[in-house]
A and B are shown apart, each in its own frame.
Chain A
Amino acid sequence: MRRRIGRTTATHLTLATFAALFAAPIVFMILTSLKTLPEINNGSIFALPESPSLAAWSKAWGSACISGTCEGISRGFINSLAIVLPSLILCLALGGITGYALSLRASWHADALLKAILIGLFIPIQAAMFPMVIVVRELGLFGTRAGAVLVHVTWGLPFVSLLFRNYFLTIPRNIISAARIDGAGFYAILRHIVLPLSLPICAVAAALQFTFIWNEFLLSLTFAGAGHEPVTVALNILAGAQFGVQEYNVNMAATLLAALPTIGIYLLYGKIFLRGVTTGITKTRHA
C-alpha cells in the first residue's frame, strides 16, 4: 500500500515537472504581454506585471505597423482565415472521396495509387516548391488567394486521403455490400453510410489540417502574394523587424493571438479528437 502511494506520488511529480516545462514559455509570454515596455527592459522576466494592461494586445491586434500599414495582425488574421477555410473544406471533401475510393480496393490500381500517394507524403516541401510555382503561374493563379488555396489543398491531400482510407477500411465490408445491393451508388454510400460513421475522423482531419495550414509559413509567403499575407507572415514581419524599438509585449501578444485559433480548435475538439485517434467506429453488436 505504502509502496503504491510512493509510486503514485512519483508519477504525479514527473507529470507536474513536464507540465511545468511545457507551460513555462506560454506563461512567460502571457506575463510579458501584460507588462509595459520599460518594465520589460528593466525588470526580471520572471516578475509579475506591476499593473497588468491589455494595451499591448490591443496594439498587436489593431494598430501595430506591419510593412507600412498600421492595422496590427488583424489583417493577416483575416487573410489566414480566407485561405484556411476554403483549403480545409476542399481538402476534407476531396480527401474523403479519394480515401473512400482507395478503401474499396476495387482493383490493383487502387493499391498502386496508394503507393504513389505515400511517396507524396515524403517529399519535402522545398523540393516541390519550384515545380509548384511553375504550375500555379501557368494556371494564372500565382500571387492570388486561389493559388495559395490550391497549393495547400494539393499539399494536404495525400495525408488526408490516407487518414480517411485507413479509417474507412475499419467499416465492415458487408455494410457497404448491403448498401450497393440496396441501390446506393458511390456518392450515396459515402453520404448516407460512410460519412455518418466517420465524424470522429473528420474532426481529426479538420483539426490537423487547420493547424497545419494556419501555422504554415513558406507556401503562404510564396503563393498568396502582396496584400494576402497570412498571419504567420505578418507575425514574422512584426517580430522580425530590424529597425526601431523591439516591442516585446506587442510581439508576445501578437504571437498569442496568432496561436489562439489552433488552441481553440484543440480545446473544442479535445474529446472527439482523442476518440478519433484511439478507436475505430462503434460496431454493431455481434457484428
Chain B
Amino acid sequence: MNLQAVQLQQIRKRYGSTFVLDDFNLEVAAGEFLVLLGPSGCGKSTLLNIVAGVEPHEHGRVLIGDRDVTDLEPSERHVAMVFQSFALYPTMTARANIAFALKMNGVPAAEAARRVERVAAVLQIEALLDRKPAQLSGGQQQRVAIGRALVRNPSVLLLDEPLSNLDAKLRTELRVELRKLHQSDPRTTLYVTHDQLEALMLASRIAVMHQGQILQCDTPEVIYERPANRTVAAFVGTPTMNFIEGRLDLTGAAAVLHTHTGARIPLPGLSATPSLAPERPVVLGVRSEHIHIVPTETLASTTGRVLVEEMAGADTYVLADVGGHELTIRTSAGERVRRRDSLPIRIDGAAANLFCPTNGTRLS
C-alpha cells in the first residue's frame, strides 16, 4: 500500500481570542503510529480535526504525502476518522454505516457489499451488520466505527480517544485489536488520547502535548526512561515518578543529594555530567521501580519508614518516608515488606533523572 506521511506546518488556531495552537509543527512518518498524548484542553483533538479538515484554522499548511490538502474538503484528503462518541449514523444499520462512504463516492453496490463484508470479517462484526447503533454495545459500536473508517482504505487514519468511552475490559481488548490491525496493515495513524498507558502501549512514537505545545516527541521507551522535562516525567508512567528537590554533591565517590530537610540521599551509579556544576540545585526524578529495598544498610543506601503498602496484583507499591520525603517504591508481590522504622533503601542513580528546579528541563 502507498504509505503517506503527514506534515503540519505552522498551524495556528484560535477560539475567540484564546490561541489553542500557535506555530504548531509536527511530522508523522509514513506508516507510523503516532500518539498525541496530553491532558484535556491541550489542543490535541483540535489538531486532529484540522488534519481531517472538519475544523477551519487561521494559518498554516497541512500536507499529506506530497499533496497540500490545506484547502481541500475533508472527503478529498483520503483520511478517515474514529470518534470518542463513535458518531455512527443513528438511523442506519451497521452495514449502511460502513457502506455510506462507498455509496457517497459512487462505488458500485456489489463491490461495496464485498468490501463491507471483508472489513466486517476483520473486525468480527459480521453478525451485527443488520443492527442499528442503538442496538449495539459501546464496544460493538466502536468496532463498526473502525470498520467505517477502514473500508475506504484511507491514506491516514485519525483516532480521537476511540477507547475512552469503553469500560476497562473492552478497552484492553480493542487496544490489542488496534495494535494487530496496525501490524498487519501499517497505515499512517494519528491517535489522540489522554491515557498515558494507552499511548505507551500503542505508539511507535508519542508526542506529549501541553497547552498547544509539543513537549517531547519520541519513542515510548525514550519518553518513559528519559523524559525531556518534569511535566512529561510527571504525566507519563504509573505510579507517578518520585520527585525530590535538593543540591547535588558530586565531590565524593558516589553522587549524593542533599535535600532541604537535611536528608542525605546517595545516588550510586549517577555519572557526573560535565554540564552539572557541583552543588547545583536540582530536582531528582526517579521511578518507583528504580528504588530498591536492600537487605542491609551500606554506604550507598539510605533509610526509609514504611507508611502504606498497596497490593496491585503482580506488584506491591510501598509508600515510604525517606528523610521527610514520600517516595513510592515498586516491589514484587512476593517480597513482603514488614512495617518497620528503618528500611534500607537504595536508589539506582544510573536510572535517575535530573531536572532544573526553575524551568523543569532535563539536566542529565
Closest to A182 in B: B101
Q: In the complex, what residues of A have CB within 8 A of residue B81's CB?
A: 177-178, 181
B193 to chain A, nearest CB (A): 17
Pair A284/B100 contact, Cβ less than 8 Å:
no
Pair A286/B80 contact, Cβ less than 8 Å:
no
* A177-B49, A178-B81, A286-B138 known; A184 vs B100 contact (CB < 8 Å): yes
Render B4-41 as a binary contact track against A, CB cut-off 8 A, 1 for contact.
00000000000000000000000000000000000000
Q: Given B49, B85, B100, which contacts A182 in the complex, CB threshold below 8 Å?
A: B100
Interface flag for B173 (CB, 8 Å):
no
Q: Given B54, B101, B134, which contacts A285 in the complex, CB threshold below 8 Å?
A: B134
Pair B134/A183 contact, Cβ less than 8 Å:
no
Render B156-194 as a binary contact track against A, CB cut-off 8 A, 1 for contact.
000000000100000000000000000000000000000
Pair A287/B86 contact, Cβ less than 8 Å:
yes
Interface flag for B91 (CB, 8 Å):
yes
B77 to chain A, nearest CB (A): 8
- CA distance in complex: A177, B138 (Å): 20
B106-151, CB < 8 A from A: 133-134, 136-138, 141, 148
A108 to chain B, nearest CB (A): 11
- The stretch among A30-38, A73-81, A189-197, A270-278 that forms the contact with chain B is A189-197
- CA distance in complex: A55, B136 (Å): 60
Q: In the complex, what residues of A have CB within 8 A of residue B133's CB?
A: 284-285
Residue from B52, B80, B100 with most neighbouring chain A CB atoms (10 Å): B100
Pair A284/B141 contact, Cβ less than 8 Å:
yes
A132 to chain B, nearest CB (A): 38
Interface flag for B202 (CB, 8 Å):
no
Q: List 29 A-B contacts (CB under 8 A).
A: A172-B85, A174-B83, A174-B85, A175-B87, A175-B88, A175-B90, A177-B52, A177-B54, A178-B89, A180-B54, A180-B75, A181-B52, A181-B81, A182-B104, A183-B75, A183-B101, A183-B104, A183-B105, A184-B100, A188-B104, A281-B90, A282-B90, A284-B86, A284-B133, A284-B134, A285-B136, A285-B137, A286-B138, A287-B87
A→B interface (CB under 8 Å): 172, 174-175, 177-184, 188, 192-193, 196-197, 281-287
